[in-house]
Structure 1
């Protein structure tokens, strides 16, 4: 019988919809990452119930400003660990789930009540994290939102509990932030976005769900109420005393003595709980999933299990994942999947039907190599357990529609600008240890090179010459994935010419067609997206205005170390 790990690995290509490249030069060097980090803490899986974040419904108090405080507090993450000191919005990790109505603006006061000392070690050699700056500073970003730049969470628009602010503090309003919600129903999420320390602030706990609802969603009879559940996936390391463990680099580059290339924990957390279980009824459930990990990709599958979560067999006789939505909202029709491959910052909206599974248990397991797709770091398999042990409270009247929402593709024309954007890394010559990453072959502070006009449509072609899969996120827009195409990396590095080695490949099954704000840029491939750079409805702008946004890798360790660039929208 195939082991669970072997079976999951066999499905990697199917889940992604393409075979991952192994032809990138210096691949073996790039795999020379630091040794696996394990905390030494051993915890029993599936002994704690899944927490459900509290909900703030903006529709309950239309027009009011919502206050959300960033605080330090203690939270019990596992039955057998002492309480863990974390940061969170309104005193929870994850923060409260905010529900907004499409077309109805919402204002939020993001208030810092955090201490002046950071929970985690700061590498002051990282640009934007200099020792001259306050150790604790924050700015919230609503990921996937169409918002004006003042409210987008620009990385240098940080502020502190003591009233200090970053270099853009005079231009960007720290309080309140206004969100137009001029988008269809979708799953967004909010998280900290401070330049140079995003990885630390998010790791400390600063993240939460933000759901936009609309009339089209109401017209469907999808599972709702107690049967619609958010799932925030994050990996962590814990000390025996329950405290968060974020490792420092060993034998790293002199340029960055503390920063690590990527973070990988040995425990999976869901909604701030280590390997929880969820008791469900034998009926349909809707799950809003976000991968909020610093660096870890998840390749997920359900297994028949006993009540303790031990896999019974490798059978596919388990409920399927019916994906109904992605980053930007509903798909045109449900997509049945047996695997979910989800990169950091991506969102999956899925329905699982437990009907007829009374008394059964299903473990949700991960087998994505870390780094994805090379491996070398520890892979925690156990994510969570579904136990079909609750009696049916009433007839399940929810349905899975055959069709959801029509999709309007963006079609390139001869006037559509195609920007070729390099995705690269600077490595230590001795062993290939990555020192920093770059987008467009430029650092954060260098002159802006991407300047689309408001309302224009552009193609951005990401040319990935690294050995990593980079989840690239573009602020402001929801884009569409056009295709991916392999190319000769060595020729490109030597001559700057793109020589393609294969035909364009269609997007992955859940990317076609779909509205996305984060895309997997695979090594040795050109990944093409198309976006229309529309501003929020009713935006108050003048001709000649230059509106500042960013695009970046959403592996947070990469983002913090130069793999983020500003861009401007020209009115």
Structure 2
């Protein structure tokens, strides 16, 4: 806690220093007063709940299996923010051609050219699109150096703009967003993002109690100038090192489906919501105000849950998705329920946001609505019981996957240290994005990845191509690690151990099929990764195809400053860059009570 407070003070002191240095480092093409990292001037006061929540434009990839999408716009009449929701069907391949129609010679937001970025020789704004969560080949994955501009200039790993999406995975909601090396944060803040839904095939229909109709919610936070243009820091955290780079972009205005603090009219019935946190860095911890409601969570990043989970709060980090039900059937017309965010910023060491997200207004039920159907929902799991469940049992209860027969003793545990220096962040032993690849992994193999977070802020770690299960997380003493007076090879309770408490399994916001999860400060977070499809026994694609994939922190300011590394699939070889991180294979089967006895 002391280190966390020290970092928060350090970040704020950097912001103060930046303010003092702003005249010499101000973004030259911006005539407005400088905007300092972590100390943005307030956005203009806006009245909440004036505009209705819009339903985003929807395009069927079954009806249009070969689609052209334009970054920024093709036609003004069809341009939208966020982008249209693309709806695919499980097992039906779609091809999307991504085009760049941005004719601005320079970016609308400040580009920090001291970072490693693509820097087109002929100018203009580069883009490349990643369909986050899609099982596709590397040349369709939106590799950071596969960018292209409106003039036809493109990056070193560019192959094509016609991306093929097999949709061979469990039904879920993905999302597409920009992934250009060094400016992802700017392109996403500018609005290059949208939802992508894989609906079930007839052979894998959703349970009868799950509403067929759903509402997509694309949530971002932003800051604005008085004229409505986007406000982004022009003075960095440490301007002497990176003049414009800010460690996190945190806006004071919340947008849902492109509308500031919207309202939605609901009848006394059950509604299904599918939300993606498309923010650069903000973690949303959602709860309701006015009237208390429970979230009945039925799905996460990669699939529906095997059993619903009932929660009073729901944490959704950058890039994470949740699928949940709200039961409004007990409310009366004119009742109002406010969706509220109490997530700390920076997470988890900063002050709570205490900001509104949107409002639900209850109206009279339509005559043909019928009963709410709440009696059909299976009894949800109670998260208060999770701490008494062994991780393997909890994974089985929430995903239906049995890991009890995994040969844990034979699994390689890949340790990835997350650190911060004056120049950059890193997640793999201080390596930069262009350093030699170390994550070379044999297809259909299984590994445990251990994220060791030495930075007093959380990271949200994303692996391309695959899903994973969170196994456990355990706090450690970073000072003892730094001076070499402890080992991760001994369990908590022994004097030589680096750990400061017993491990815990995944919390209610880490269960299910995941492609992104939180790595808490001064914790070791371990995930179980099977480098295979999340549904089929074998890929119909070639995951070894050029240029491969990446893994990275999904706080976009971190990703843009080196917290991203390449990852290659191989049919024959696995590269073991270092010794296996200590992994106690017995621990995954033990409940919290047994852990006390075991140690």
Structure 1 residue aligned with 2:308: 334
**Aligned partner of residue 60 in structure 1, secondary structure:** coil
CA–CA distance in structure 1, aligned partners of residues 97 and 295 of structure 2 = 37
Question: CA, structure 1 residues 518+405, in 2 after alignment: closer, same or farther (shift >3 Å)?
Answer: closer
CA–CA distance in structure 1, aligned partners of residues 546 and 51 of structure 2 = 50
| TM-fit CA distance, 1:487 | 1.3
Structure 2 residue aligned with 1:221: 209
Cα deviation per residue 1:141-187 (whole Å; 9 max; x = unaligned)? Answer: 01011111111110000111211110112xx322x100111111111
CA–CA distance in structure 2, aligned partners of residues 422 and 405 of structure 1 = 29
Q: Residue 192 of structure 1 contacts residue 202 of structure 1 at CA under 8 Å; is this kept in 2?
A: yes
| TM-fit CA distance, 1:540 | 5.5
Given the two structures, how large is their TM-score scaled by the length of structure 2? 0.80
> How many equivalent pairs are there?
509
| TM-fit CA distance, 1:188 | 0.6
Structure 2 residue aligned with 1:240: 226
Map 1:140-155 to 2 at 5 A: 140-155=129-144
1:49 aligns with 2:71: no
**Aligned partner of residue 209 in structure 1, secondary structure:** strand
| TM-fit CA distance, 1:510 | 3.8
**Aligned partner of residue 548 in structure 2, secondary structure:** strand
Question: CA, structure 1 residues 463+90, in 2 after alignment: closer, same or farther (shift >3 Å)?
Answer: farther
Structure 2 residue aligned with 1:491: 480
Structure 1 residue aligned with 2:559: 559
Cα deviation per residue 1:168-226 (whole Å; 9 max; x = unaligned)? Answer: 12xx322x10011111111111101000100010011111111111143444232233x
Structure 1 residue aligned with 2:319: 345
Q: Residue 134 of structure 2 contacts residue 465 of structure 2 at CA under 8 Å; is this kept in 1?
A: yes
Q: Tell me whether 362-371 or 406-415 shows the greater mean CA deviation.
A: 406-415
1:71 aligns with 2:72: yes
Structure 1 residue aligned with 2:570: 570
CA–CA distance in structure 2, aligned partners of residues 466 and 412 of structure 1 = 32
CA–CA distance in structure 2, aligned partners of residues 65 and 416 of structure 1 = 41
Q: Residue 237 of structure 2 contacts residue 246 of structure 2 at CA under 8 Å; is this kept in 1?
A: no
Q: Residue 141 of structure 1 contacts residue 154 of structure 1 at CA under 8 Å; is this kept in 2?
A: yes
Structure 2 residue aligned with 1:415: 410
CA–CA distance in structure 2, aligned partners of residues 24 and 237 of structure 1 = 26
| TM-fit CA distance, 1:319 | 2.6
**Aligned partner of residue 201 in structure 1, secondary structure:** helix
Correspondent of 2:174 among 177, 188, 197 = 188
Q: Residue 341 of structure 2 contacts residue 354 of structure 2 at CA under 8 Å; is this kept in 1?
A: yes
Q: Residue 172 of structure 2 contacts residue 199 of structure 2 at CA under 8 Å; is this kept in 1?
A: yes
Q: Tell me whether 247-256 or 351-360 shows the greater mean CA deviation.
A: 247-256
CA–CA distance in structure 2, aligned partners of residues 468 and 154 of structure 1 = 27
Map 1:84-233 to 2 at 5 A: 91-117=79-105, 118-130=107-119, 132=121, 134-169=123-158, 172-174=159-161, 176-214=162-200, 215=202, 216-225=204-213, 228-233=214-219
Cα deviation per residue 1:360-392 (whole Å; 9 max; x = unaligned)? Answer: 10011111111011116x836111000012532
Q: Residue 444 of structure 2 contacts residue 531 of structure 2 at CA under 8 Å; is this kept in 1?
A: yes
Q: Residue 411 of structure 2 contacts residue 448 of structure 2 at CA under 8 Å; is this kept in 1?
A: yes
Cα deviation per residue 1:274-328 (whole Å; 9 max; x = unaligned)? Answer: 0000011110000001111001011111111xxxxxxxxxxxx523110000001
Structure 1 residue aligned with 2:41: 38
Cα deviation per residue 1:476-524 (whole Å; 9 max; x = unaligned)? Answer: 0000000001112112223384322222111112433x11000100001
| TM-fit CA distance, 1:38 | 2.9
CA–CA distance in structure 2, aligned partners of residues 68 and 546 of structure 1 = 23
Structure 2 residue aligned with 1:531: 529
CA–CA distance in structure 2, aligned partners of residues 385 and 515 of structure 1 = 29
Q: Residue 299 of structure 1 contacts residue 339 of structure 1 at CA under 8 Å; is this kept in 2?
A: yes
**Aligned partner of residue 59 in structure 1, secondary structure:** coil
- Hey, which of these two has a bigger chunk of helix by percent? 2
